[in-house]
Amino acid sequence: MAIRRNIGDVFPLSTEAVFTNETKIFSGTIVNSVTGEPVPYATVSLYQSGSNIISKAANANGQFSISISANPDTLVITSAEYQPAQFQALEWQHNFELEPKPNTLPEVIVSSHNNVSPAWLLLLLPLLLKKKKAVGKVDTSTLIVVGGSILFLKGFGLFNDLLESLGLQESQDTKNLDAASTNPFSPWSPLFIKAAPVGAYILKDEVVNQMMTTLVNAFGYFNDDESAAIGVFKTLKTQSQLSYFADIWQKAGNGDLLTWLRGGAWPADRLSDAETDQINQFILKLPKYTP
């Protein structure tokens, strides 16, 4: 049984990174602590002295295997519907249990409009809807007040923010990314480059390796460098280069590139949908195959 710690627990880390030429294999199966069922596609990250060494995605059966010539001290596992957890990095096969997240109310998001959260305005609606003596009828003044309140919110761009913050409406960024992720021939899909014509631009091996290293290192256990992650994609000249990179990324065992970027629970939160769609919109403006 793995020695498990919830995120937030004090966990001793070594004070010095020690690297050896000996290859070590960290592997196991990730399961639901309640049902015992496998947790598919969770992100497994190895850390040494608080620094991320490598991150990979488990497969559909919750299994993973990472070969590395280093001495990590901490193994962190994250998945969108589970509590993030950390374990001692031990070199043998065993099960890793993740606790499902409890059902929680959506958090209130502070709007960019005058730094006012639109969610609190929902609390004013009961005050606007004054109870009338007549039963089964809606007073005309009530309709005017409610309708006027909605128009007021929309006029200041707060109504959509309110719905988005309450999880009742998706942002345009989220809609764009969801459309890209479900399109098998989008530039984010390896199928795009496989269907490309002869002469389509790809990437040199050394460029791919540098991109992968920069991207993984941009997201740390405690600090993220979003600009470095976004900058990786700003160097691309064609959509075919992104698809080629996504193909190599997936073959390396990191899972779907777009899904990985959008991340999940801490510490694998990575980029927001707004930041990821910034990359997406840049890619969509590039030529498909040749500059």
pLDDT tens track for 199-253: 999 999 889 989 989 999 888 877 888 888 999 999 999 999 999 999 999 998 8
Instruction: For residue 47, give the 3-state DSSP assignment.
Output: strand
Other CB atoms within 10 A of residue 25 CB: 11
- Residues 261 and 57: their CA atoms lie apart, in Å, by 12
Sequence-ordered list of residues with C-beta below 8 angstroms from that of 246, at least 6 positions apart, any chain: 187, 188, 189, 190, 256, 257, 258
Taking the C-alpha atoms of residue 200 and residue 27, their distance in angstroms, rounded to an integer, is 37
Q: Which two tokens stand for residue 87?
A: 């374990």
Higher pLDDT among residues 56 and 158, named by residue:
56
Closest CA to 243 of 170, 168, 189, 163: 189
Q: Please choose, from the candidates 2, 55, 49, 54, the residue with its C-alpha nearest in 3D space to the C-alpha of residue 30.
A: 2
Q: Which helix (H) or strand (E) holds 86?
A: strand 85-88
Whole-model pTM over 0.85: no
Nearest-angstrom CA–CA distance, 178 and 142: 38
CB neighbours (10 Å) of residue 102?
Answer: 6
Predicted local distance difference test score (pLDDT) of residue 105:
38
Q: Which residue from 153, 247, 238, 248 is spatially nearest to 209, judged by alpha carbons?
A: 248
pLDDT at 260 over 90: yes
Domains, the chain, with CATH or none: 4-98 (2.60.40.10), 118-165 (no CATH), 172-284 (no CATH)
